[in-house]
Amino acid sequence: MAMKTLNCLRRPALHLRSLIPPRQSPIKICIAQYSSHSPMGSPATNTRKKVTIQTIQNLYKKNEPITVLTASDFPSGHVADTAGMEIVLVGDSLAMVAMGMEDTNEVTMDEMLLHCRSVNRAVKSAFTIADLPMGSYETTPEKALESAIRMVKEGGMKGIKLEGGAEMAPTIRKISQAGIPVMAHIGLTPQRQHSLGGFRVQGKSAAGAVKLLRDALAVQKAGAFIVIIEAVPPEIAEIVTRRLSVPTIGIGSGNGCSGQVLVQVDMLGNFPEGRFLPKFVKTYADVWGEARRGIEAYREEVKSRAFPSVEYTYPVSKEVLEEFEKVVDEVAEKE
C-alpha cells in the first residue's frame, strides 16, 4: 500500500529577489501526494478472498490443483499474490536466489524472519508459509516450536514448513498441537543434501519408494496439513498421493500430486545465461533478459544525454527563469 505523505513547501511571494534576504514571511503550503517511493506505487484494489486452510482443503476435495510459489521480498510476494497463488512460500531457497549464498544451510533464523516480514507486508490473500532454516528445529520438538512461534509472531506467517519424514513426526505433532499449520517436506530434502549424496532423485528403488510412503503417512499422522514431495518419479509420487488424505505439492515429482511449487526466480527466468537449472523447472518468462535490455538502454541514453528528455522534466516559466538568472551572481557572492 502506498504511503501518503504531506510535503510542506515554503513559497516566497512574487519575486525570487525576496530570497536575498527574505523581505516577506513565506506562505506555508501543505500538499498531499503519494510518494513514488512507496511500495509498488498507489494501492491496488484487492478483490480476492483470503486463502485459509479450509480453502486449501476444499480445493483438494474438488481435485483442483493447488498453486504454490516462493517469494523472498515485497515485490515477489506482491506479484505472486496478485497473480492468484493459493500459497506463497518464503522458502529457504532465498539463501541462494536473494542472498547469494552457496546453499540453503547458510541462512539464519533472523535472516529468514526479515524476508518473512517483507513478504507478509505484500501478501493480502494467499496463505503464507515459511521454511524453518537448518539449525532452528532439528534438536528438539520444543526448540522447533519456539522457532515456529517466532515465524508466526515476528514473521507474520500463517504456517511453517520443515524437512524430514518419520523422524520429524514428534516435532510436527508438537507444532501442530500448538495450533500452527505444518507443511511437511519429504523426498529430496535440500537441507540434508550432504547425507543424501547431493541433489539426487529419491524413491527410484522399491525400498526408496516404501520409505517415501512411510514418511508421508508418518507426517500426515503427526498433523501435517500438506506435504511437499520433491524429486521423486511421478508414478511413485502419484501412488503416495492417492494413499494420503491430505494434499501433496510436487516439485520435480509430476502432475499426479495435488498441486505444484516452483522457485519464483527460476520459473521467471530471472538469472543469467549459463546458470544451472534443475530439470523440473519450466521457465515462463525472461525477466533477466528484459531487465538487462532495459538497463542497457538506460545506460546508453544517459551517456548520450537522450535521457532525461523534456517530457521527463518539470517546467518553469520564462519569467521565473529570467528572474532567477538576474540574481544568480548576487546569491553566489553572498554565500
At 115, which helix (H) or strand (E)?
helix 109-122
Tell me if residue 230 is catalytic.
Answer: yes
Q: Which residues contact 202 (CB under 8 A, 6 or more apart)?
A: 187, 188, 196, 208, 212, 230, 231, 232
Q: Locate 11 and state its grid cell.
A: 513559497
- CA dihedral (44, 50, 55, 60) in degrees, to 10, reads 40
- 193, 268, 199, 261: which is closest to 227 by C-alpha? 261
Question: Which of 230, 296, 311, 319 is flagged as catalytic?
Answer: 230
Q: Locate 141 and state its grid cell.
A: 520438538
In angstroms, the CA 64 to CA 119 distance is 26
Alpha-carbon distances, residue 144 vs 46, 232, 261, 308 (angstroms): 34, 27, 24, 54
Q: Which residues contact 244 (CB under 8 A, 6 or more apart)?
A: 216, 217, 220, 227
Q: Which residues are marked as active site?
A: 230
